[in-house]
Amino acid sequence: MKPGTELEFEADGGRLIISKARQKASLRSVVGILRDGRRTDDVMRELRGDADIPGQ
């Protein structure tokens, strides 16, 4: 551990257990960040281009 590491504390039978905090899912940190009214499909198409779907 280094300075700034988030910790979790748990009491267990008179003992204090300290462990590194579980990291939040990286996706959760950006969910809802795009607030300009565009649909997800439109944003993904802009970023990746149109999908190549075999047979279409």
pLDDT of residue 17: 95
- Prediction pTM value: 0.38
Rounded CA gap, 9 and 15, in Å? 10
pLDDT single digits (tens) 9-51? 999 999 999 999 887 667 777 777 777 888 888 888 899 988 8
- Could you write out the DSSP letters of every residue in 1-56? --TT--EEEEEETTEEEEEEPPPPPTTTTTTT---SS--HHHHHHHHH-S---TT-
pLDDT of residue 7: 93
